[in-house]
Chain A
Amino acid sequence: MFRFLEYLLIAGYIAVLLVISHWIGQQAYSWMPLQATAEAKKVDDLFSFLVSIGAFILLGLVGMMLYSVLFFRASKEDYSEGHPSRGDVRLEILWTATPTLLVLWIAFQSFNIYQQLNILGLGQIVHLHLPLESHSVALASLGASPANAAIVSDVPKPASETIDVFAKQWEWSFRYPNNLTSNELHLKVNRNIRLNLHAQDVIHGFYVPEFRLKQDIIPKRDIDIVLTPTRTGKYKLKDSQFSGTYFALMEADVYVESVEAYNQWLTQTASEPTAIKNQAVAENIQVAKTLFKSGWYTVAPDQPAVANERKVSNDT
């Protein structure tokens, strides 16, 4: 009878835990930044799922520990044995099998979602003969024969347009299809866009938290990502891989806007080149305003070029 009651209590505990951890998983959406791409929703779904499972395990085990601390205390002089059990094969198999199944489930979910992201894809497992990031070749052939697209659907898909992203210490610049070069990244809402990432000096990282996408940019390698902004607004692009002294200042404004606004910006700004301010340069030419000044060596950032300029040459 007592045994039965105990099982009942455990079942009740698990039921309560399931409800609580599901609720926590739902809260997890609000811990994330805005969702500004089609990809962001998928990542947040995965995060919510992970938080639910994590909360269940954490609360379950820590709950047992807390219960023990409260109710299984020995009197000061009682050093006799608590319980003689050295193990229980069935229990041990259960708690080895459960996490195994759990992580297989998590891995399967993550795999599915990864396939839906348009980043360095599984395609390379099929096309091992291709250089790592030379999607341009792969895509050219894909574009020609759409039948192949199904097999390697996870290689970044053909996008309507490509924008070249250039990162250097400590400045972002973007070259648009009409050869306009700017320090602002403008994107059309609800259109997929290919970003071709280039780094000039050290490794940088492309990261807009609201997009949930991050990709290191390696000098001498061209890496593509494709994304689809779904929400108009102004966001910040940040350098996500440590790039030296003024790393924290390496930001750029990202505008997701309607096609009309985008086209208007593209034609308007092309006709009015302006000098732009670069925070790293501004900070580098003056004495640091900090309490302690080490004066240690730093790479000096270049004076930024004139922005909003049409360049025909393919350098930079």
Chain B
Amino acid sequence: MTHEFSEAIAEDREPLDNWRQYFRFSTDHKVIGVQYMVMTFIFFLIGGLLAMIIRAELLTPESNLVDRPLYNGLFTMHGTIMIFLWIIPFNAGLSNYLVPLMIGARDMAFPLLNAISFWILPPAGILLISSFLLPNGTAQAGWWSYPPVSLQFPPGQLINGEFIWIVSLILIGISSIMGAVNFVTTIFWMRSPGMTFFRMPVFVWSVFSAQLLQLINLPALTGALILLLFDLAFGTQFFKPEEGGDPIIYQHLFWFYSHPAVYIMALPAFGIIAEILPAFSRNPLFGYRSVAIASLGIAVVSIFVWVHHMFTSATPGWMRMTFMFTSMLVSIPTGVKAFAWTATIWKSKLHLETPMLFAMGAAAMFIFGGVTGVMLAATPFDIHVNNTYFVVGHFHYIVFNTITMAIFAAIYFWFPKITGRMYAEGWGKLHFWLTFIPANITFFSMHPLGLQGMLRRVSSYDPRYQGWNVIASLAAFLLGVSTLPFIANIVGSWLYGPRAVDNPWHATGLEWTTSSPPPRDNFAEIPIVTRPPYDYGDPKYSVIKNSNNGE
């Protein structure tokens, strides 16, 4: 890429203390991106607090902290918040911020639609959490909300937790579909001259793949939720077995979206890892083209794997065997990625700053989660551990140890670009170790529990399971504490941190060629791209004078 660092547009910098813009209706993709990220982090803290209460209840075999309906509400809301109000919208926020910068565009394709997509979320999220205040509380049927158990509410109460849950999720779904239209259009049409598909950073490829999945699969969930709402509130019988409905159809529709949802969450995380590993190992991403194509490959395969969540449901053998096979195919493109990451690090020049620690931690933990994922795809084994803590452990290795770790990596990596200030490196490293070690202890402990037959969603359990549960709970509390140094670092550095240079990591990518933070229109002049991505061999990325972070 022939672009120079932007000394020229340094005067255009917006004042760094212009914090009020983040509370306004703005159509600037960078403002919207920050709005998404900060808001979803608040939901992450709420979801995390709910997890702490769940883990506190599971310290002892008896049900003695929260009564059972409340416990069921807690895990339902924990799952819903973490998936639909933390990871998915955080990724939308990060993608919002980065995609136009990375492809050399001035904004998203539809800035107004972009702002509307965001502003649907705060009311939807507040609505969901407000259901704790209802007389009969929140939805209590888990984040899958399988009928008929999800429909068991006292007659005559139209507004109940389940009703709120469905309405809120439909709103979030609409927001996501609008966002997906925007992302796909932007990546298709807004690339700067010379930015061919095979010059796009892998992060853009993975956002593209994830948003295509949103576009194709999410309407199935939205439709199912509307039918569920009618069953709940207006007396229809779509999913009521006693009245001729079919609850299994709901499961198919639900997983038709909610399995790809895992990849909607994971693909941007893979993209983050693919940006950070090359920058801190000073290597081009190994096998760039195959990694880029693997992103699309994962998306395509993931559309055809949903029944592996239903291996113990009313599914015939042929269906179980077919979906076992397709589920295993996912490991081929994900394997390509994992091998490429390892090869990128191999024989390189590693710099282990905080973003790299989180990215490498996420990559390593993804291999663990991927291995247990292949195990779960093997139907006969899955039949034993289905709905046990083995699945909970596997899932959290993906959503926390991989995706949330990658999100932290992204926050540290792009923090100087977004805020124009540097974070404190020592605090970042402390945050990494406080996250990495307890997260592994917490979620590893769940695997032996599941193998021994401890079911998920139980509020009391056989005393023989207590040992691993105590370990998991104590480590989980430490994991909760680990967010404190992060918050202190981010808030403190945003306010008082030293000024960051435009490209503190000597990284490739168009976002590093503009100022930190970028001006309203991103680039003084639209960059013209002539070189492949991850061009770490170019001497301009090794220039020492540019490494002066802070003053």
Chain B binds chain A: yes
Residues on A lying within 8 angstroms of B by beta carbon are 31-33, 42-43, 46-47, 50-51, 54-55, 57-58, 61-62, 64-65, 68-69, 72-74, 76-88, 91-92, 95-96, 98-100, 103-104, 106-107, 109-111, 113-114, 117, 119-125, 132-133, 154, 201-203, 205, 207, 209-210, 212-216, 218-221, 223, 236, 238-249, 283, 288-299
Task: Give CA–CA (A218, B240) in the complex, Å.
Answer: 11
Contact of B451 among A32, A88, A111 (CB under 8 A): A32
Task: Give CA–CA (A242, B60) in the complex, Å.
Answer: 20
In whole Å, how far is B399's beta carbon from the nearest beta carbon of chain A?
Answer: 19
Which residues from B are CB-within-8-Å of A292?
65-67, 70
Contact of B378 among A46, A215, A223 (CB under 8 A): A46
In the complex the two chains form, is A80's CB within 8 Å of B381's CB?
Answer: no
A96-B336, A121-B316 provided; 11 other pairs, C-beta below 8 A?
A79-B541, A86-B284, A114-B320, A114-B321, A121-B317, A203-B146, A205-B312, A215-B383, A218-B313, A246-B68, A297-B154
Which residues from B are CB-within-8-Å of A245?
68-69, 72, 140
In the complex the two chains form, is A238's CB within 8 Å of B455's CB?
Answer: yes
In the complex the two chains form, is A68's CB within 8 Å of B242's CB?
Answer: no
In the complex the two chains form, is A207's CB within 8 Å of B364's CB?
Answer: no
In whole Å, how far is A8's beta carbon from the nearest beta carbon of chain B?
Answer: 17
Task: Give CA–CA (A205, B385) in the complex, Å.
Answer: 12
Closest to A39 in B: B380
Closest to B280 in A: A74
B95-103, B215-223, B343-351 - the one binding chain A:
B343-351
Which residues from A are CB-within-8-Å of B347?
68, 72, 82-83
Q: Which of A117, A210, A240 has the most CB of B within 10 A?
A: A240
In whole Å, how far is B287's beta carbon from the nearest beta carbon of chain A?
Answer: 4
Contact of A120 among B315, B338, B364 (CB under 8 A): B315
In the complex the two chains form, is B345's CB within 8 Å of A72's CB?
Answer: yes
Closest to B282 in A: A82
Closest to B458 in A: A248
From known contacts A69-B360, A103-B332, infer whether A248 and B67 are also in contact, taking CB-CB under 8 Å.
Answer: no
B residues 361-414 touching A (CB-CB < 8 Å): 363-364, 367-368, 371-372, 374-375, 378-381, 383-384, 386-388
In the complex the two chains form, is B283's CB within 8 Å of A82's CB?
Answer: yes
Q: Can you show 21 pairs from A to B with CB atoms below 8 A apart?
A: A32-B451, A42-B380, A61-B339, A65-B345, A72-B350, A73-B349, A82-B282, A110-B381, A114-B321, A114-B324, A120-B320, A124-B317, A207-B387, A216-B314, A242-B146, A244-B149, A248-B457, A294-B66, A294-B137, A295-B67, A296-B140
In the complex the two chains form, is A69's CB within 8 Å of B352's CB?
Answer: yes
In the complex the two chains form, is B349's CB within 8 Å of A78's CB?
Answer: yes
In the complex the two chains form, is B387's CB within 8 Å of A74's CB?
Answer: no
B residues 488-531 touching A (CB-CB < 8 Å): 506
* A-contact 0/1 string along B311-338, CB 8 Å cutoff: 0111111101100110011011001101
In the complex the two chains form, is B387's CB within 8 Å of A50's CB?
Answer: no
In whole Å, how far is B297's beta carbon from the nearest beta carbon of chain A?
Answer: 10
Q: Which of B73, B154, B346 has the most CB of A within 10 A?
A: B346
In the complex the two chains form, is B317's CB within 8 Å of A77's CB?
Answer: no
Contact of B547 among A57, A77, A84 (CB under 8 A): A77
In the complex the two chains form, is A87's CB within 8 Å of B381's CB?
Answer: no
In whole Å, how far is B532's beta carbon from the nearest beta carbon of chain A?
Answer: 8
In the complex the two chains form, is B378's CB within 8 Å of A110's CB?
Answer: yes
From known contacts A202-B148, A216-B313, infer whether A249 and B374 are also in contact, taking CB-CB under 8 Å.
Answer: no
In the complex the two chains form, is B544's CB within 8 Å of A77's CB?
Answer: yes
In the complex the two chains form, is B149's CB within 8 Å of A58's CB?
Answer: no
Which residues from A are CB-within-8-Å of B254?
none
In the complex the two chains form, is B349's CB within 8 Å of A240's CB?
Answer: no
Closest to A239 in B: B455
Closest to A103 in B: B328
In the complex the two chains form, is B387's CB within 8 Å of A241's CB?
Answer: yes
In the complex the two chains form, is A111's CB within 8 Å of B321's CB?
Answer: yes
Task: Give CA–CA (A32, B385) in the complex, Å.
Answer: 10
In whole Å, how far is A21's beta carbon from the nearest beta carbon of chain B?
Answer: 11
Total contacting residues, chain B, CB less than 8 A: 107
B residues 63-94 touching A (CB-CB < 8 Å): 63-70, 72-73
In the complex the two chains form, is A248's CB within 8 Å of B387's CB?
Answer: no
B18-26, B169-177, B431-439, B459-467 - the one binding chain A:
B459-467
In the complex the two chains form, is A218's CB within 8 Å of B536's CB?
Answer: no
In the complex the two chains form, is A220's CB within 8 Å of B242's CB?
Answer: yes
In the complex the two chains form, is A201's CB within 8 Å of B148's CB?
Answer: yes
Which residues from A are CB-within-8-Å of B298?
none
Which residues from B are CB-within-8-Å of A113?
380
Closest to A245 in B: B68
B192 within 8 A of A: no
Which residues from B are CB-within-8-Å of A212?
380, 383-384
In the complex the two chains form, is B324's CB within 8 Å of A218's CB?
Answer: no
From known contacts A86-B286, A294-B137, infer whether A202 and B542 are also in contact, taking CB-CB under 8 Å.
Answer: no
In the complex the two chains form, is B69's CB within 8 Å of A296's CB?
Answer: yes
In the complex the two chains form, is B282's CB within 8 Å of A80's CB?
Answer: yes
Contact of A68 among B336, B340, B348 (CB under 8 A): B348
Contact of B536 among A82, A223, A246, A293 (CB under 8 A): A82
Contact of B317 among A32, A81, A114, A291 (CB under 8 A): A114
B288 within 8 A of A: yes
B130 within 8 A of A: no
Which residues from B are CB-within-8-Å of A68?
281, 345-348, 350
Which residues from A are CB-within-8-Å of B315?
120
B136 within 8 A of A: yes
Which residues from A are CB-within-8-Å of B314?
120, 132-133, 216, 218, 221, 223
Which residues from B are CB-within-8-Å of A79?
282, 351, 506, 541-544, 547
In whole Å, how far is A287's beta carbon from the nearest beta carbon of chain B?
Answer: 9
Task: Give CA–CA (A144, B297) in the complex, Å.
Answer: 49
From known contacts A58-B368, A240-B386, infer whether A298 and B69 are also in contact, taking CB-CB under 8 Å.
Answer: yes
Task: Give CA–CA (A181, B345) in the complex, Å.
Answer: 64
